[in-house]
Amino acid sequence: MRNSFHFTLIEVVVSLAILSIGIAGLLQLSAAAQKRIAKVHEMWMHTHMLSQAAEYYLLMKEEEEPPEITEDFFPYENYTVIRTIEDLEEEDLPEDFNNLSGQLPLKTLVLELQRRSDGKTIDKFMIDRLSYESSPNSSISN
């Protein structure tokens, strides 16, 4: 006599329920990971755009009215970069760096990435740099 074993209907239904819960959990994790990837890609893109603008403006001489960044260098239609130069106050510097002889003034280059559609500031870079334009030796020509 053969001894055969068969699954009952309730056992099959329970195993399918457990399997479907596992698959639903995996799909939920996958959807959350895709959202995180999209958000990180967008953040990386904004940082990349500001890095390009920073390269462009740091290679230029300081001017009172900065020129608009060219489309050849910044080919993003929906975004614009606003550049301002601010004086760095002595209170913002560590005590060891104040009142040094021959010290060049320190300026802050502020770059703001704005969305053109609504004018919202998306991201902002602040870069401290020495101001050679206002140094005592700036009148010397090359």
Q: What is the pLDDT of residues 51-90, one digit of tens each?
A: 999 888 888 776 666 678 888 888 998 999 988 888 776 6
Cα distance between residue 88 and residue 11, in whole Å: 73
Q: Decide if pLDDT at 113 tops 70.
A: yes
Give me the chain's average pLDDT, please. 83
The pLDDT assigned to 65 comes to 66
Distance CA 69, CA 76 (A): 11
Residue 125 near residue 50 (C-beta atoms within 8 A)? yes
Q: In the chain, how many domains are there?
A: 1
- The rounded distance, in Å, linking the Cα atoms of 42 and 45 is 5
Q: Which helix (H) or strand (E) holds 111?
A: strand 106-115
- The number of CA neighbours under 13 Å toward the Cβ of 71 is 2
Residue 64 belongs to a domain: yes
Phi and psi, residue 119, nearest 5°: 75, 15
Within a domain: 86? yes
pLDDT of 33 over the 60 cut = yes
Asked if residue 37 is part of any domain, the answer here is yes
CB 129 within 8 A of CB 105: no
136 inside domain: no
Q: Does 135 map to a domain?
A: no
53, part of any domain: yes
pLDDT at residue number 142: 39
User: How large is the average pLDDT for residues 90-94?
Assistant: 67
Is there a domain that residue 142 lies in? no
Q: Which domain holds residue 92?
A: 10-130
CA angle 78, 84, 85 (to 5 degrees): 155
Least confident of 31-40, 49-58, 96-105: 96-105
Does residue 137 lie in a domain region?
no
